Structure 1
Amino acid sequence: MTSFVRRTLLATTVLASATIGFSAAHAEDTAPAAATTTAAADEQDNPTSVGTGARDRGADIVVTARRRQESSQEVPLAISVVGGEHIDSTGSFNVGRLQQLTPTLQYYSSNPRNTAVNIRGLGVPFGLTNDGIEQGVGIYVDDVYNSRVASATFDFLDVAQVEVLRGPQGTLYGKNTTAGAINITTNQPTFDFEGKAEVSIGNYNFKQAKAAISGPLTDNLAARIAVSSTSRKGTIYNVTTGEHIQSQDNLGLRGQLLWKPTDTIDVTLAGDFSNQDANCCGSVYVRTGATQRAINRQFAALAAAQGYAPPSLNAFDRLTDLDTDLRAKNKIGGASLRVKWELGEGTLTSITAWRFWDWDPSNDRDFTGLPIVALSQNPSQQDQYTQELRYNYSSDKIDFVVGAFGFYQRIDTQGTEAQGAAASRWSINPGSVAAVPPGSSGCGPSASNQLACDPTVLDGLVAYNTQYLKNTSAALYGQLSWHITPELTLQPGVRLNYDKKEGYYQRRVFDGQGNELLLGLPSYTARQSAQLAIYTPQEISPTFSDWNFSYDFTASYKVAPDVLLYATYAKSFKSGGINQNGVPVDGSNNPILATATVKPESVHHYEAGIKTQFWDRKATLNVSIFRTDIANYQANVNNGQYGVLRGYLANAGAVRSQGVEADFSVRPSERFNAYVNGAYTDATYRKFTDAPCPPELSGGTTVTSTTTVSPAGTPGGISPENCDISGQRLPGVSKFSFSFGAEVNAPAKLLGKEGEVYFGYDGSVRSNFSSNPSPSAYTWIDGYSLHNFRAGFRTESGFDVYGWVRNAFDQNYFEQLMVGPGNTGLIAGLPGDPRTWGFTIKSAF
């Protein structure tokens, strides 16, 4: 792993060099320092609607949700804003931790590639990632779109604020925002010399260092450099390797140059690089549940037949025995050029960007310490290019934005999956024999299928997957705000979008002796048939293209200077896609090409809300109600087998997400502030009649027209071919979720410095939620609450030292539960972080 000390020394060297250069340039400046016109510079000292940013009561929170700077209370949409100061003080250093502050944000990650970020229960299908579709929550950093959700797993780097826009944002943010958008703004270069540094240490060998420095190089050229490094020992102990897994080992770098050749032109060149090299990612044994497999083919019998037992039956002992090397090397970065030109009452903006993502994983897909799946890895390389050109205009009667957006992406993936020495006895049915004793695999002279007793049948069986995706998109868009009166504004918006996806998928299969298994032969031996049941060769070249037109209309009315009413209707879509990981096969093992493409989602969204400030703007209360209906919802389908097809995409009939959200904050004085945010979300499948069945209804003989489905969990029972889950809850969504917190401070003097002591608290509560695409009795995660505290001393000059504890009451909870492959009844899980504590010291200059 990358050494924390080495990285910190590198950061110190870079910053020291930059300081010398900045100081020299600053000393040579004879003209007054010019003020930057970037949004982040204006925003970074403003208070936030979530948490405790600055101390000015009644100041506006400046956002860029409509691609222009304005007060968040003037924007007629549901939006949460978290300032950089509160992000740092609460330890919310990535999107995953941000969900504890924003109740309608859901984040699930078994590893960086298999990450889901949803808003109001919508966004991406729950389960293994498929590169052939779009995400439904757009992630933007300084106006640059990040097409892969893996970017959400990296540490925030020198962030000024984060805006979480709830509800479809298709007009201004594109086809990838049917559920909302996360708009991240970093601190920009300044023409005043400034810097900051922060170091944290804690239990689990937690170490984090952050630093940034900014200032002028010449009269019209400024630069900013930022670095972040995070490391922590893993929270799960692997008894097989003697190592802790689920560790953190992150490094981030960002550099920016701001050139102002005139008072009306800003040119910003930015580059960034982030690296993760953690001992990750694994799981622990949670439980088993009865399926409809034969009793000797369920987990308890299969494990006993090979003398296997999990290292602990208590998931919160945090022990695992995974026997495959784990790896989650993740690199992401890129460069962008942003040009802003003030033209009269408008601004012309061009953003040109390139992003890359390199993913190098290794996983243990059988979730046990047995060598069943010996290797599972799909390294991937992505390059994306974007170009956006837009013009913003503002006047007393109208504001408008018009623009064009182009996108090209290329993804190449090279996959390897292999079976191990325990695979034959685990995956091949030895056949029915009389009076099979409990715990027996059925192997022996009386077994009707001796292949199960021969480890060489599957040991060394390997599949090599080769795939690529070319994704092209272009759009024209516009949004108008017509101020009919000072109180009444009508806001229509439109977007025309074209998509084209070209994919390729090839799977070649070889047995343990290196012989390739081919389809189309006149006949197969029993050994070959058993091998082909695990890995099936396949080659497809799916394509998709389509035009889509989306639009929205919002009416807002100011009842009073600090009371805004609004209502919105939006017709949006999420682009169709292709199954990039393979498709199901028919009885002759031929790919079913009708399943190669996935229809676009069609979205109808309705929302109404009120935004208010009162008590001399010391208090803010925003409330919204919403309903989102989606037809042809893109759902992830898993077939329960080890290697035949881990998952593919299909269209569910319809889903609906509806609910109520409220955000309240109060700051009666500079000595106290508090906030409470809450959401009720009812997100369900409205129609999904051919969904994959949950494990308790899977694994038995498939039902026919003359048979009756057995009750759930009946060993050796009759299973339906698919299940009707209409009316059931979408995965990952809690009906009720809340976040709340407060901070109190008092004047104090420490080490001769005038300042204030403070005590802060942040908490969150969520009710239970399903952790499987088809709700299962075995994968409901109980609701839980988390409580974080901090206390310290700070000065107006930027010095701050404090201690912190997160998950203070050591709540045991799961972030995610996963159904083991093969319908054996195994349930594995990812426990959330235990209690962590530490100390932070930071300084600004």
Structure 2
Amino acid sequence: MTRSSFAPVLLVGFASLALFPAAARAADAPADESASNTIVVTAQRRSEDAMKVPVAVSVLTTQALHDYQSAGADTLLSLSGKVPSLYVESTTGRIFPRFYIRGLGNIDFYLGASQPVSVIQDDVVEEHVVLKSNPAFDIAQVEVLKGPQGSLFGRNTTAGIVKFDSVQPSTDWNGQGSVSYSRYNSINADAGVGGPLSSDGSLSFRLSGLYQHRDNWISNTYAGPSDDGTVPGKNVMGGFNERDVRLQFLAKPTDALSLRLSGHYRDYDGSASIFYRGSIIKGTHTVPDNFDRTVVAYDEAQNNPQAYKTHGISLKADYDMGFATLTSITAWEHASGFSRGDTDGGAAANFGGVAPNICAVGCGESQGRLRSLNQWSQEVRIASPDTGRFKWQLGGIYFDSRDMTEFDQRAFFLTSNVLGTTPNPNNWVLLRNVNTSWAVFGQASYQLTDQLTATGGVRVTRDEKDTTLLKTANSIANVSTFGGATHVNLADTKPSWDASLLYSASRDLSFYARVARGFRGPTIQGRSAVFNSPFTTATSETNTSYEAGLKSAWLDGAVHFNLTGFYYVVKNIQLNGNDSNGNGVLFNANKAKGYGMEAELAIKPVTNFSMNVGLSLLHTEIQDPNVFAQTGAAGGVLSQTVLNPVVRVGNNYFAQINGNTLPNAPTFNLNISGRYDLPLGEGQGRLFVGGDFNMQGKVNYVLYKSVEYISNGNFELGLKAGYAFGRYEVAGFARNLTNKTNLVGVIDTSNYRAGIYNEPRVFGVMLSGSFR
């Protein structure tokens, strides 16, 4: 058996071990034995009933995650739309998910891009975009915290937090797993198992793993000349291999001290995002009836390779001093890898190009390569006990991220010039990026009366960015023509804060109001140097957010209903557009406003039926009459039907974006999921059927308004049906059951009009379960 074939067998076998060690005991256990009608969250760094937390927070469970990812879907991108106000997308494959909460995110595909949504995995902030792509597996719970959360968590954030908590080591043997097989030879195995390592329970462990595989399923039909030696063929792209493992140890040498040591490793390879050139027809945003996701015509980019490796280690120490608990979290993360893409999404010869000047019409390929990244973070905090009328927390964090990032442009890869561009091995740049940050923070809450609690927090953050151009994109003669500054340093220090009131009308009904200020530090965009253009920068932005809502539970927790209304103003908002080279350009607009509502309903009227419904409504608006964004154009002709006023400068066009919505901010999001179990009799198990549905309103993918670069009414339906016995299930499933083709991203450059689309319909079978 080869090494490559041994890895999936080993991981699938590991999943089986997690599923079956205690089958005899689990056969008689009810499926919901561990279910509780109380929803516990850690939105304030304490384990609390969600009813008592004055923060809008949505929760995703392990079972839901297994269903969404059953066909091998990306564990992060598959979360998009699954709770109100959460949107996730990528134009750079699985190594670069971009998160948006309440419309706030960043469309920048630069490897050093700053994001207003923070990702926390097991108490460790993942700041770099590649670290944010670390898959979520063997997860106990996902919490989506909405609005600025800067006073307690990790780094400062203006939009919110997506917080992943994996299953922790325990003194009892337990495990869970899910294994599925589906179309395109797709395999998804997610499992974890753990228990005590000592007889007195002072040492325990948890071993977790994820394996995902899909065969290539997209064919390259291009038969013309290629300047970089790309060879077409049947089923040459679209596949991937995802291999992840995590090992945790929990030691409790004394009753007061606990130590959790965690290490993880990721090895991923797969296709970069697939762009389909010309799939967006000018004058319409509907997907063509003859569109086929299984076929492209790429003349370059070696069929889109992509690969990354990450690993890290963290140590969390808790010491109970009686009057307070001292917590330290020390973490190190490392990443390296490369991406590549045919960014024009097709062969220029098929779109009017004639050799030898064919690439005047548009050829494009590029690669962002993270040579190395090292991220260190140290957090220390001290917190009062969870009891009593007065609770408090104080702490500080230091963050240090350093990377070497290379950008390679088209001429770097070429071996001939049949298509009109001479190979240039010097057409690449090397950047060194350093980001350091420190913060001190504190929060206190006081129960003013038996029903009214006031909470306030404050944080002061220093954020510094430093980018140095170590190697310029030189001419064929290796002569530099770069005229900009080769070193840029930006820094800022600002406070963040929040204040809230929570009124508990009863044990099952509470009202809250919250105002919060978030801060995102200055940002540098260095990728532009690969086109010999100067760096672009954006200064700090702040978000002041207001929200109020109610949280309720009825019928002894059988019904939960939450409702939130919000309004925010982001001053000096950081935005990102593209220039004529497809180059990311950073700039600030005066402000952006947003308002809307979120509603969540969870019902379990009887033991065998449950349903969850979520709805968010959103309006966003950029407010700055003096800000313009470049639009796609070629040869002095607009490539889209632009609905904003435009100004022409040479062969380029710039659209006024005042009044436009923010990109990737759906006007509404509806998610519905449910499940019904039919008992077959005492000791005979049960049949079940379940499903999930997501629909999104109008989404604009770029800063300017156009007929083409929007979608409206995207939806997907998933179904699952099978047989359950105790804690174990075997089921058939379908993802994207109707085979709906949804536009989910665009490349806004030249005349490409290239779109990115969702995955096609997939059928499969799944085996899942748990023991304890």
TM score, norm. by length of structure 2: 0.87
The one-letter amino acid paired with 2:621 is T
SS of the equivalent of 1:362 reads coil
Q: Does 1:226 align with 2:166?
A: no
Q: Does 1:742 align with 2:674?
A: yes
SS of the equivalent of 1:582 reads helix
TM-aligned CA distance change 1:423 to 1:15, over 3 Å: closer
Q: Which residue of structure 1 lines up, in the alignment, with residue 353 of structure 2? A: none
The one-letter amino acid paired with 1:181 is I
SS of the equivalent of 2:656 reads coil
1:699-710 to 2 correspondences below 5 Å = 700=636
Q: Which residue of structure 1 lines up, in the alignment, with residue 592 of structure 2? A: 655
Is 1:189–1:215's contact at 8 Å kept on the other side of the alignment?
A: yes
SS of the equivalent of 2:10 reads helix
Q: Which residue of structure 2 lines up, in the alignment, with residue 272 of structure 1? A: 264
Is 1:758–1:791's contact at 8 Å kept on the other side of the alignment?
A: yes
1:236-293 deviation per Cα after TM superposition (whole angstroms, max 9, x unaligned): 33224223422231011000111111122111100001121113332112446679xx
Inter-partner Cα distance in structure 1 for 2:656 and 2:645: 17
Q: Which residue of structure 2 lines up, in the alignment, with residue 104 of structure 1? A: 85
Matching residue within 70, 73, 85 for 2:48:
70
Matching residue within 279, 295, 304 for 1:319:
295
Is 2:428–2:530's contact at 8 Å kept on the other side of the alignment?
A: no
Q: Does 1:205 align with 2:135?
A: no
The one-letter amino acid paired with 1:245 is M
TM-aligned CA distance change 1:261 to 1:669, over 3 Å: same
1:373-419 deviation per Cα after TM superposition (whole angstroms, max 9, x unaligned): 57521211211000111112133211111111110000101222133
Measured on the aligned residues, the alpha-carbon RMSD in Å equals: 3.4
Which has the higher mean CA deviation after the structures are superposed, 167-176 or 405-414?
167-176
Is 1:259–1:268's contact at 8 Å kept on the other side of the alignment?
A: yes
Q: Does 1:79 align with 2:57?
A: yes
The one-letter amino acid paired with 2:314 is S
Q: Which residue of structure 2 lines up, in the alignment, with residue 574 of structure 1? A: 520
Is 1:507–1:538's contact at 8 Å kept on the other side of the alignment?
A: no
Inter-partner Cα distance in structure 1 for 2:674 and 2:255: 42
TM-aligned CA distance change 1:843 to 1:616, over 3 Å: closer
1:702-722 deviation per Cα after TM superposition (whole angstroms, max 9, x unaligned): 9xxxxxx99989999987863
1:792 is displaced (CA, Å) by 1.4
SS of the equivalent of 1:86 reads helix
Q: Which residue of structure 2 lines up, in the alignment, with residue 835 of structure 1? A: 761
1:159-194 deviation per Cα after TM superposition (whole angstroms, max 9, x unaligned): 001000111101112544211101111111111122
TM-aligned CA distance change 1:4 to 1:775, over 3 Å: farther
Matching residue within 484, 491, 501 for 2:448:
484
Q: Does 1:497 align with 2:458?
A: no
1:584 is displaced (CA, Å) by 11
TM-aligned CA distance change 1:711 to 1:250, over 3 Å: closer
Matching residue within 705, 709, 717 for 1:787:
717
1:296-315 deviation per Cα after TM superposition (whole angstroms, max 9, x unaligned): xxxxxxxxxxxxxxxx9943
1:559-598 to 2 correspondences below 5 Å = 559-582=505-528, 596-598=536-538
Inter-partner Cα distance in structure 2 for 1:127 and 1:423: 30
Q: Which residue of structure 2 lines up, in the alignment, with residue 619 of structure 1? A: 559
TM-aligned CA distance change 1:727 to 1:5, over 3 Å: same
SS of the equivalent of 1:692 reads strand
Q: Which residue of structure 2 lines up, in the alignment, with residue 8 of structure 1? A: 8
Inter-partner Cα distance in structure 2 for 1:715 and 1:476: 46
Matching residue within 676, 680, 683 for 2:613:
676
1:422 is displaced (CA, Å) by 11
TM-aligned CA distance change 1:79 to 1:276, over 3 Å: same
Q: Which residue of structure 2 lines up, in the alignment, with residue 804 of structure 1? A: 733
Q: Does 1:540 align with 2:476?
A: no
Inter-partner Cα distance in structure 2 for 1:215 and 1:187: 11
1:466 is displaced (CA, Å) by 0.9
SS of the equivalent of 1:88 reads helix
Matching residue within 337, 356, 364 for 2:342:
364
Q: Which residue of structure 2 lines up, in the alignment, with residue 473 of structure 1? A: 437
1:751-762 to 2 correspondences below 5 Å = 754-762=684-692
Inter-partner Cα distance in structure 2 for 1:171 and 1:711: 41
Q: Does 1:385 align with 2:376?
A: yes
- Which runs of 5 or more structure 2 residues have no equivalent in the other structure? 23-29, 223-231, 349-357
Inter-partner Cα distance in structure 1 for 2:160 and 2:99: 10
TM-aligned CA distance change 1:688 to 1:471, over 3 Å: farther
TM-aligned CA distance change 1:126 to 1:699, over 3 Å: farther
Matching residue within 628, 646, 663 for 2:568:
628
1:539 is displaced (CA, Å) by 5.2
1:33-55 deviation per Cα after TM superposition (whole angstroms, max 9, x unaligned): xxxxxxxxxxxxxxxxxxx9947
TM-aligned CA distance change 1:341 to 1:423, over 3 Å: same
SS of the equivalent of 1:285 reads coil
1:195 is displaced (CA, Å) by 2.8
Q: Which residue of structure 2 lines up, in the alignment, with residue 448 of structure 1? A: none
Matching residue within 399, 410, 414 for 1:407:
399
1:499-558 deviation per Cα after TM superposition (whole angstroms, max 9, x unaligned): 2222112553445xx412444xxxxxxxxxxxxxxxx56551000122111111111111
Q: Which residue of structure 2 lines up, in the alignment, with residue 283 of structure 1? A: 275
Structure of greater Rg:
1
TM-aligned CA distance change 1:265 to 1:108, over 3 Å: same
TM-aligned CA distance change 1:786 to 1:597, over 3 Å: closer
The one-letter amino acid paired with 1:400 is W
Inter-partner Cα distance in structure 1 for 2:647 and 2:455: 59
SS of the equivalent of 1:364 reads coil
1:722-766 deviation per Cα after TM superposition (whole angstroms, max 9, x unaligned): 3321111111111111001211112126xx953221111111111
Is 2:463–2:521's contact at 8 Å kept on the other side of the alignment?
A: yes
Q: Does 1:127 align with 2:108?
A: yes
The one-letter amino acid paired with 2:247 is G
Q: Which residue of structure 2 lines up, in the alignment, with residue 252 of structure 1? A: 244
SS of the equivalent of 1:11 reads helix
Q: Which residue of structure 2 lines up, in the alignment, with residue 196 of structure 1? A: 176
Is 1:771–1:818's contact at 8 Å kept on the other side of the alignment?
A: no
1:770-814 deviation per Cα after TM superposition (whole angstroms, max 9, x unaligned): 112323222112322211111112222x22111111111111111
TM-aligned CA distance change 1:332 to 1:193, over 3 Å: same
SS of the equivalent of 2:685 reads strand
The one-letter amino acid paired with 1:515 is A
Inter-partner Cα distance in structure 1 for 2:530 and 2:296: 32
1:570 is displaced (CA, Å) by 1.1
Is 1:267–1:340's contact at 8 Å kept on the other side of the alignment?
A: yes
TM score, norm. by length of structure 1: 0.80
Inter-partner Cα distance in structure 2 for 1:584 and 1:331: 24
Inter-partner Cα distance in structure 1 for 2:664 and 2:642: 28
Which has the higher mean CA deviation after the structures are superposed, 202-211 or 400-409?
202-211
Q: How many residues align?
A: 725
SS of the equivalent of 2:739 reads coil
Q: Does 1:772 align with 2:752?
A: no
SS of the equivalent of 2:64 reads helix
Which has the higher mean CA deviation after the structures are superposed, 403-412 or 388-397?
388-397
TM-aligned CA distance change 1:661 to 1:422, over 3 Å: same
1:413-470 deviation per Cα after TM superposition (whole angstroms, max 9, x unaligned): 1222133999999xxxxxxxxxxxxxxxxxxxxxxxxxxxx96664547512010111
Inter-partner Cα distance in structure 1 for 2:511 and 2:650: 55
1:317 is displaced (CA, Å) by 4.5
Inter-partner Cα distance in structure 1 for 2:135 and 2:186: 14
Is 1:478–1:495's contact at 8 Å kept on the other side of the alignment?
A: yes
Inter-partner Cα distance in structure 1 for 2:434 and 2:249: 32
Is 2:186–2:214's contact at 8 Å kept on the other side of the alignment?
A: yes
1:3 is displaced (CA, Å) by 7.2
Inter-partner Cα distance in structure 2 for 1:664 and 1:701: 49
Q: Which residue of structure 2 lines up, in the alignment, with residue 41 of structure 1? A: none
